Copies of this chain bind each other. A is one copy, B any other.
Amino acid sequence: MNPNYVRIFDTTLRDGEQSPGASLTSAEKLEIARILARLGVDVIEAGFPAASPDDLEGVQRIAKEVGNPLPGDMELTRQVPVICGLARANKADIDTAWQAVRHAAHPRIHTFLATSPIHMRYKLRMDPEDVVKRVREMVAYARSLCEDVEFSPEDAGRSDPKFLYYVLGEAIKAGASTLNIPDTVGYTTPEEFGGMVSGILAHTPGIKDIVLSVHTHDDLGLATANALAGIRAGARQVEVTVNGIGERAGNTSLEEVVMALHTRRAIFGLETGIDTTQIARASRMVSNYTGIPVQPNKAIVGSNAFAHEAGIHQDGMLKNENTYEIMKPETVGVNRSRLVLGKHSGRHALKVHLEEMGYELSTAEIDLAFERYKQLADKKKVITDADLEALVEDQVYQSQEIFSLDGLQVACGTMGMPTATVRLRGPDGKQMVHAAVGTGPVHAAYQAVDALVGVKTALLEFNVHAVTEGIDALGEVTVRLQADNGSAFQRTSPQNGKVHTRTYGGYGADTDIIVASVKAYLSALNKYLHSVGFHRSPEAQAEIEMKVA
């Protein structure tokens, strides 16, 4: 392997998905895994399979569908990524992880154990020698199932360096081929973190043939700098998430590390396998599916990152815009000319365009998308890529519908009695109607939905933004909720064994933001109902599929 190649290990679907409210369905995870493969990431950490049966299934689907060459793709026009599953250092977790990733062409098991005195004593209640023994046994066990094993010493930053070198050396002997150094709480400075990586490379027995990896967090705003310091010190894998999502202030963001290496390649002399032109699209998809917005001043993927102010040049001398621009927007897939299709574009033009955008839709899905496209074109003069993405992504959610919106009528304003009448089609395919009053039109509509669906929920977040400029724009709504009887669906955290109550994100798009709000709410409710075992009756499902086909 090229010694100057830095592997991009994406953990959007594992560490990123652990951020509050980022919970994704299996279908959404699969879509994100597909775009990660298109981005060209080397490793996709697809989840923590032992967290819940739903997580296991999600990783399994990705291993099967994204972790293998596409049918007929004999020339391997794209790299097939390694599919990785996280496991605590115990046999049950490792077995579950293996069940999930074994279907991939290149599976990996990633296991970890804390090595700092405080964690060993108070969390693990293990002697250092027991920790070493467990690492040895569990890495060897993982290696007996899977050729590619990664080991992380949790809380490495607070571990005794000599002990760390010893544990890592034992993990290598037991068969680990990648060692990952996490800054679990985002506490280090670049000098400290780079120094730690240098020390490990200099003192760990057998490290020569191993890929050293870094995993940093952004609590002090230093994640990117720390990851780059680790890479300069010799790490050749970096663990990242799209948009830097993750618990608390998040993980190192893929786009920043990749673009720093790319833009400053003269200094770093390193390369990655990333197709940078897919970055903007991946960013948008992850933001929409997780419901976690990207701030305008976010590096690389923020809406202002490449914003050029409108205005005339007073100073005719300043010919070269590069004076103030270190990256071209096109490099990261930000396209300045966004008008794509007119009102009279046909079904075939739409199909070709969606394919170019990277969507793999069935004929029935294309038909439905075209139907919705025409409706939108009637309302809105200019249809852009962003509109099409919103439209297709809104549609992807509809495939899991249990309750669907059949009609909505709203009256609101300053009179003080906002009222909404909602008509839903239930799991049995039958229509049901309810009217409710609320503090505003969204509250009124959500009250009506609650009455029809019969679930009590707590709304944790509600956001709307316009997809494109102009007041006739499509509005995108993202919501996040939790069922009031939160015990219904829980998952286990890999780090601390805590059980978290799951939250559900929903997404909806419409030119009417109240309609979009109800769609988003139903999409989150349907995710919740799906996760607790609700399904449409087969008859109702058949009827809906008939309508689509």
Contact = CB atoms under 8 A, between A and B. Distances in A.
A311 interface: yes
A464 B465 contact: yes
Interface stretch (A137-145, A161-169, A361-369, A405-413): A405-413
Nearest to A192: B267
Interface stretch (A24-32, A55-63, A104-112, A242-250): A242-250
A44 B89 CA distance: 52
Interface string A305-332: 1110111111101111001111100000
B249 A305 contact: yes
Contacts of A10: none
Contacts of A405: 414
A497 B315 contact: yes
A76 interface: no
A113 to B, nearest CB: 14
A441 B20 contact: no
A439 B304 contact: no
Interface stretch (A35-43, A91-99, A205-213, A222-230): A222-230
A298 B219 CA distance: 8
Nearest to A438: B472
Interface in A290-306: 292-300, 302, 304-306
B19 A304 contact: yes
A469 interface: yes
Interface in A444-480: 446-447, 458-466, 469-473, 475
A127 interface: no
Interface stretch (A174-182, A348-356, A507-515): A507-515
Contact of A512 (B118, B309, B413): B413
A77 interface: no
A439 B379 CA distance: 6
A338 interface: no
Interface residues of A, number: 128
Interface stretch (A66-74, A183-191, A274-282, A540-548): A183-191
B414 A515 contact: yes
Given A407-B413, A411-B411, A123 B490 contact: no
A184 B246 contact: no
Question: Which of A122, A220, A246, A492 has the most chain B CB atoms closer than 10 A to its own CB?
Answer: A220
Contact of A313 (B118, B380, B498): B498
Interface string A491-522: 01101111111000000001111110000000
A421 B415 CA distance: 12
Please tell me how many copies of the chain the complex holds. 2
A60 to B, nearest CB: 25
A300 to B, nearest CB: 7
A418 interface: yes
A260 interface: yes
A17 interface: no
Given A293-B296, A311-B500, A495-B324, A410 B408 contact: no
A256 interface: yes
A243 to B, nearest CB: 8
A128 interface: no
A486 interface: yes
B466 A461 contact: yes
Nearest to A514: B412
A240 B314 CA distance: 28
B413 A515 contact: yes
Contacts of A257: 221
A250 B307 CA distance: 11
A119 interface: yes
27 contacts: A20-B296, A21-B296, A123-B315, A189-B228, A190-B225, A192-B267, A218-B297, A220-B224, A243-B295, A247-B307, A250-B302, A292-B295, A293-B295, A311-B501, A314-B492, A408-B414, A409-B411, A410-B410, A412-B512, A412-B515, A413-B420, A413-B515, A414-B512, A439-B511, A439-B512, A459-B470, A513-B513
